[in-house]
Amino acid sequence: MRKVVQMFIAVLAVAALLMYTTARINHMQGYSSGNTLTIYNWGDYIDPDLITAFEEETGIKVIYETYESNEAMLTKIAHGGHSFDIAVPSDYAISRMIEQNMLIPLDHSLIPNLKYIDQRFLDLSFDPGNKYSIPYFWGTVGIAYNREMLDMELTSWNDLWDESLRNQILLVDGAREVIGMGLNSLGYSLNETDPERLLEAQQKLFELVPNIRAIVGDEIKMLLATEEAAVGLVWSGEAGAILDENPNLDYVIPVEGSNIWFDNMVIPITAKNIEGAHKFIDFMLDPENAAQNTLYVGYSTPNWGAMEYLPEEITSDARFYPGPEITNKLELYENLGKHNLAYYNELFLEFKMHRK
């Protein structure tokens, strides 16, 4: 029995020594709990030089982790065990996080650079008063198409059903985007929950099948840029990257309307460095920093102050910086709830199976 006790004490001593050593190493590397900030963001969604600049300016060490979908981010934060101080979810995900008490209310007095955010992009339905989130990037869903490969100009969702586009269309692998396209083409809302209207949209999508070349993920940028297909349903940020690669391509927001989306910075309930999180948000809202980040990422900035530091050919491009006359007609994706979202996914899966 005495040997067992002695062995137990020895194990505890070794464990304590390891914990002490790890803590000392982390402290020496800038990883002590008081000056560490853990950021959870989409991949390649920030200029790394800005992280370095933030660390040098504040003395706070940044740990940067990435995710590939809102759903993956929500699951990881909801399950706990990870202390994220900043996350950058999309609008509908923010609504879900608020409902599930996953976010810490922001102290706007600690974010003076909030004044640089365009008023059009504040106080939106997914977060009234921006109590929990601050805009990071925004954009639209639309059509990228190759002018040289087509004999027509695309302006409408309904143009995609033209027989001349047989086997020429790529779709992103997203239920809300594809079902939403069908709904918009019929004049219905992107957030429609009427089963009859949703079935009508699905039936119309079935009629589009001969024109669809593939339903793909990130490779849609390469396939359009290399002219493997003439048309793509894409997000505006993706479209910008594609147009940079191939000047024959254009991007249009369809006349019937479409989705306007936002990725916002939030502080999850798991945060341990709330003060540092506010500092980071304010740092990213500084106009010069926001402009630098915009040039690196390529998406549209909601920061009107940053516009002064961006080239005019970017800020004057109405395809990616549409005015209020366009944005006021666009819709946010609302949080449809589990039941309705499951139905969207079911309809989309049936559509994908119908192609085979």
| 87 shares a domain with 61 | yes
| 347 shares a domain with 245 | yes
| 338 shares a domain with 236 | yes
Question: Residue 82 — pLDDT band, cuts 50, 70, 90?
Answer: confident
| 107 shares a domain with 81 | yes
| 124 shares a domain with 45 | yes
**Whole-angstrom distance between the N-terminal and C-terminal Cα of the chain?**
69
| 251 shares a domain with 166 | yes
Question: Which run of H or of E encompasses 279?
Answer: helix 274-285
* Domain extent for 247: 139-260+327-354
Q: For 163-184, how does the pLDDT look when each residue is reduced to its tens digit (9 = 90+)?
A: 999 999 999 998 999 999 999 9
3-state secondary structure of 252: strand
Question: Residue 24 — pLDDT band, cuts 50, 70, 90?
Answer: very low
Q: What does pTM read for this prediction?
A: 0.84
Cβ atoms of 140 and 258 within 8 Å: the answer is: yes
Cβ atoms of 258 and 319 within 8 Å: the answer is: no
| 271 shares a domain with 184 | no
3-state secondary structure of 49: helix
Q: How far apart are CA 291 and CA 47, in angstroms?
A: 10
48 located within any domain = yes
Q: For 318-343, how does the pLDDT look when each residue is reduced to its tens digit (9 = 90+)?
A: 999 999 999 998 999 998 888 998 99
DSSP character string of 62-105: EEEEEES-HHHHHHHHHH-S---SEE--BHHHHHHHHHTT-BPP
| 109 shares a domain with 50 | yes
Question: Residue 34 — pLDDT band, cuts 50, 70, 90?
Answer: low
pLDDT at position 15: 45
Question: Residue 26 — pLDDT band, cuts 50, 70, 90?
Answer: very low
Least confident among 18-27, 201-210, 242-251, 327-336 = 18-27
Q: What is the mean pLDDT of the chain?
A: 90
Q: Say which CATH number the domain at 127 has.
A: 3.40.190.10
Q: Stretch 154-158: mean pLDDT, rounded?
A: 97
The residue with tokens 């209310």 is: 105
| 304 shares a domain with 214 | no
Q: How far apart are CA 215 and CA 174, in angstroms?
A: 9
7 located within any domain = no
180 located within any domain = yes
| 244 shares a domain with 164 | yes
CA torsion 121→127→129→134, rounded to 10°?
A: -60
Our count of domains for the chain comes to: 2
DSSP character string of 96-163: HHHHTT-BPPP-GGG-GGGGGB-GGGSS-TTSGGGSSEEEEEEEEEEEEEETTT-SS---SGGGGG-G
